[in-house]
Amino acid sequence: MEILQFGVYERRLLSLLFEHVLARFADEFAQRTVLDIGANIGNHAIYMSRRFKRVVAFEPGYVAYHLLQANLRLNGASNVDARAIGLSDRDAFATLAPQETNNIGSNAVTTKSDVAGAERIELRRGDAVIAGCADIEPIALVKIDVEGHEIEALRGLSNMLQAHRPIILFETKGKHGENGSDAILALLRGLGYENFYTLAKDFPFPHWRSPIARAAIRAALGARYVLQRRESFDDRYYNLAIATSDQELA
């Protein structure tokens, strides 16, 4: 509905991110590459294609990849290089399955093969894929949305991350576990990343309050995104976390 109404999903968040939080990097971005890992149907790839010299987008899901290709053509995004693979810390075949009915954006790598809608996909080690990209400009930004495969994707890009030091955008669904925010931050700190932020609607709502009540309060008070620097993340979902090596964000 947001795409139909506004032409882009998460328009307000993307605008705030690129026109305010990361605005001082605009000239640098225009001469460099961004990696979109978990590109889905291309919402972010198309948005970023207007701000970066080149976008390399990775989407292993069959339906999502073909919708991505169609959307790139419809939007004339000729500087987007779309690839039908997933990035990981190994070369392997895996199972991709939806976590939510009728939402291909929820597709995640799983060990279960009997899930309705599951498909076989190819995973490639990220560093090897990037090394094989012809004439690639320095990588200034990496966006990762891989539904619980973040650690593997980041680990597979460790050489590139240490060499290029790109800003990293990622999501996290909680603190704990192999792909929790604690594990992600520990890995990134080991790769030389020092600064971590969240850009979220951070209202002081009690955890027990229902989503309907929160939505009503936000509608009454007005929703606003808040950029916060963090040493660690709260045990909650963040759809936009940011990591930088030495760049300080306003």
pLDDT in tens, 10-51: 999 999 999 999 999 999 999 999 999 999 999 999 999 999
Per-residue pLDDT of 218-240, as tens digits, reads: 666 556 789 999 999 999 999 99
Instruction: Evaluate whether 54 touches 137 at the Cβ level (below 8 Å).
Output: yes
Instruction: Evaluate whether 46 touches 75 at the Cβ level (below 8 Å).
Output: yes
Domain with 49, as residue range(s), is 23-201+227-244
Residue 233 contacts by C-beta under 8 Å, 6 or more apart in sequence? Answer: 172, 175, 181, 182, 185, 196, 198, 241
Is 127 within a domain? yes
Is 150 within a domain? yes
* Residue bearing the bigger pLDDT, 47 or 203: 47
Q: What is the pLDDT of residue 3?
A: 83
Is 32 within a domain? yes
CA dihedral 153, 32, 79, 6 (to 10 degrees): 80
Residue 35 contacts by C-beta under 8 Å, 6 or more apart in sequence? Answer: 55, 56, 57, 58, 130, 139, 141, 142, 143, 166
| Cα distance between residue 101 and residue 47, in whole Å | 26
Q: Which of 84, 145, 154, 153 is nearest to 119 (CA)?
A: 84
Is 250 within a domain? no
Instruction: Evaluate whether 142 touches 171 at the Cβ level (below 8 Å).
Output: no
DSSP 148: S
Does the pLDDT value for residue 118 go beyond 90?
no
In the chain, the number of structural domains is 1
For residue 98, the domain's CATH number is 3.40.50.150
Is 94 within a domain? yes
DSSP 50: T
Residue that is written with structure tokens 């225009």 in the block: 30
Is 11 within a domain? no
Is 207 within a domain? no
Is 216 within a domain? no
Task: With 0.85 as the threshold, say if the pTM is over it.
Answer: yes
| Cα distance between residue 63 and residue 73, in whole Å | 16
